[in-house]
Structure 1
Amino acid sequence: TYGGLKQRLSQFFEEEQQRELEQESEQEQEQERQQEEEKKYFRSVRPCEPILHDEIKQLCNSNDSQLNLSELPLVFRPLPYAFINSSFFEICQPNSWQPNLWISTEFQRVIEPIEESLDLFLRPPRWLIVYRNEHIIFVNAFEAN
Structure 2
Amino acid sequence: NQVEISRDDILTIIQCHTIVSTLWSNSVYDAKTLHKLTSILRFTVYDYVKKLKNGNTLNPLPCSGKPKKLSPKKRHFLGRLISVNKYYTCTELANILNENYTNLNVTDQTVLNELNNLNYFSTVPKTIPLLTD
Q: TM over 0.5: same fold?
A: no
Rg larger for: 1
Larger helix percent: 2
Greater RCO (CA < 8 Å, at least 6 residues apart): 1
Larger strand percent: 1
TM-score range, shorter chain: under 0.3
